[in-house]
Structure 1
Amino acid sequence: MKELRRIASFDVNHDVLVPGMYISRIDGDVVTYDLRFIKPNTPPFMSVEAAHTIEHLFATFVRNSQFGSEVVYFGPMGCMTGFYLLLRNTVSYEDAITLVRDALDFVALSGGHSYDHSYIPGNSRIECGNYLAHDLYGACKLANKMRVVMENWSVAKLSYRPLVLIQGAMMVEIADLLKKRNDFKKVVINDFVFYVSDGLVISLTGIGMTNATIATTIAINHFHPSYIINQGTAGAHLPEMHVGDFVVAEKSVNININFGSDDAEIPLDNQFKFFDGDKDLVKRLSTGGDGIRIFTGILGSGDLFSRNENQINRLRNMYGEIAEEMECAGVYEVCKHFGVPCAGIRVISNNEITKEAYQPDVASRLQDYLYNLLFD
């Protein structure tokens, strides 16, 4: 039997999809939009009855709208997590979003508070092949949830391309990334700065774990990234490391957590001390290339910058960490709670053991590596 060509939708990572409106494919002059009402593989899914009712109401509304002649099809996904809406490309992306919002309003408000099925168009035995399988209450409930999702939806969010969030604590750690594109839009949320482009958000977190955790929480709630890369500079804690080498954080440890009674002694389970990077992302970041040396291991995070060799040896002996910076553990902890894949990577900017002085300019080396790895 001839090998079947894999369809494009199977290449979308459904584990990281969130409810929303996405462009699934473009065939000639027809644009297929996926309206994801439910996060994939996260029950409860849409009931057949509620989805059936939405199909009748939504389709009736859009075909009676100003774009009625441009509507090709509307119907449910077999996985019962949403619907397909096919429009001619004469409908702009902005108008398509507005049309979906208006249709959801129509569905959500149908029947007022009575949920009388007589409000459902085409619900008789003559008009419908399964006319008893309707649930107006369930349809209104689903539509109301989707209305909230669509409130702030924009053209920039229509792409199924994974949205990558790359973080840097200082401007020198993101400046070269910002030079890679000329269409970044600066967004400020609660005094935290983000630069937004297609499939990419760059976050200037500020220095330290408090800033990093706040910035990460804001980014997850506002941008819904598919995954997060926390990157920047770090100090080496191994004599064989040199300025310009990379460190990928298989784990990150909060080196601030210590009650002082004994080194590394803490009356909590280790799950509160060490946090794992996403294994697939760690592997991807460890790809390397010509002239690039990459170490993998434990990255220590704390609101300090150790310059004393005795302190460095103490931290290495306590936690097994191989380099030190100031944000990664906080980001890993936030991502753990929100279920967002995350990995940290640093370029060595100094080594107090070998007396290699601090060189902030090496930050550009890591930024070039990341952009080429993730987007080229």
Structure 2
Amino acid sequence: MSKKMNVESFNLDHTKVKAPYVRLVGITTGHNGDEIHKYDIRFKQPNKEHMVMDGLHSLEHLMAENIRNHMSNVIDIGPMGCQTGFYLSVINHDNYDEILTVLEATLNDVLKADEVPACNEVQCGWAANHSLEGAKEIATDMLAKRDEWKDVFGEDQ
């Protein structure tokens, strides 16, 4: 990489990270002093694996709905186009360990779910593309490596 890009993740060497992990991407301060903390929640190893779209789509619905039951500061949680993770943005909350706890609770909610919220043509733009089982598989894989979430670059870096 020669020139610094405007998008933070474009400046990240994706060959050096070790998924899964949860990484603080940056903090943006608003005109009134509010702080937005943005996190990279990486489920899959970049350029080696990815989430299958119907499972990812259902996971998006489940996490977007359930994370707000654990934290009121959530602005948004949404998938990365590369299908390897999600971005989480929260306002006025800078406790990284609590973010990990909230994510763990949210993924456990996914495992307990018996349906995907808003999985219909009225509330979703691609309602036919969902898999509750796929979402649960992704959540199970991420939770199985809970002790690795803080280690962005792996032990050998």
Give me the TM-score of the superposition, normalised by structure 1: 0.37
In structure 2, how many angstroms separate the alpha carbons of the residues matched to 1:140 and 1:64? 18
Alignment match of 1:89 (pick from 76, 87, 92): 92
In structure 2, how many angstroms separate the alpha carbons of the residues matched to 1:13 and 1:126? 40
Superposed counterparts of 1:295-374, under 5 Å: none
Q: Verify the 8 A CA contact 2:5 2:11 in the aligned structure 1.
A: no
Q: Which residue of 2 aligns with 1:23?
A: 24
Superposed counterparts of 1:110-259, under 5 Å: 110-111=113-114, 119-151=115-147, 153-154=149-150, 157=151, 224-225=154-155, 227=157
Alignment of 1:49 onto 2:54: yes
Unaligned runs of 5+ in 1: 112-118, 164-223, 228-376
Q: Secondary structure at the match of 2:47?
A: coil
Letter in 2 for 1:139: A
Residue 73 of structure 1: how far off its partner (Å): 0.5
Considering Cα pairs closer than 8 Å and 6+ residues apart, tell me whether 1 or 2 has the greater RCO.
2
In structure 2, how many angstroms separate the alpha carbons of the residues matched to 1:120 and 1:8? 31
Rg (Cα) greater in structure: 1
Query: Deviation string for 1:246-275 (max 9, x for gaps)?
Result: xxxxxxxxxxxxxxxxxxxxxxxxxxxxxx
In structure 1, how many angstroms separate the alpha carbons of the residues matched to 2:39 and 2:10? 15
Residue 82 of structure 1: how far off its partner (Å): 0.7
Residue 11 of structure 1: how far off its partner (Å): 2.0
Query: Deviation string for 1:128-179 (max 9, x for gaps)?
Result: 111111011111001001002224545xx4xx6xx5xxxxxxxxxxxxxxxx
Q: How many correspondences in the alignment?
A: 149
Alignment match of 1:60 (pick from 48, 62, 65): 65
Query: Deviation string for 1:210-263 (max 9, x for gaps)?
Result: xxxxxxxxxxxxxx2353xxxxxxxxxxxxxxxxxxxxxxxxxxxxxxxxxxxx
| Gap change, CA 1:93 and 1:11, over 3 Å in 2 | same
In structure 2, how many angstroms separate the alpha carbons of the residues matched to 1:142 and 1:5? 30
Give me the TM-score of the superposition, normalised by structure 2: 0.86
> Which has the larger strand fraction?
1
In structure 1, how many angstroms separate the alpha carbons of the residues matched to 2:148 and 2:101? 11
Q: Verify the 8 A CA contact 2:4 2:11 in the aligned structure 1.
A: no
In structure 2, how many angstroms separate the alpha carbons of the residues matched to 1:84 and 1:101? 15
Residue 89 of structure 1: how far off its partner (Å): 3.3
Letter in 1 for 2:15: D
Residue 107 of structure 1: how far off its partner (Å): 1.0
Q: Which residue of 2 aligns with 1:9?
A: 9
In structure 1, how many angstroms separate the alpha carbons of the residues matched to 2:155 and 2:12? 14
Q: Which residue of 2 aligns with 1:102?
A: 105
In structure 1, how many angstroms separate the alpha carbons of the residues matched to 2:5 and 2:15? 22
Moved over 6 A (4+): none
Q: Verify the 8 A CA contact 2:25 2:40 in the aligned structure 1.
A: yes
RMSD between aligned residues: 2.0
In structure 1, how many angstroms separate the alpha carbons of the residues matched to 2:78 and 2:15? 23
Q: Secondary structure at the match of 2:145?
A: helix
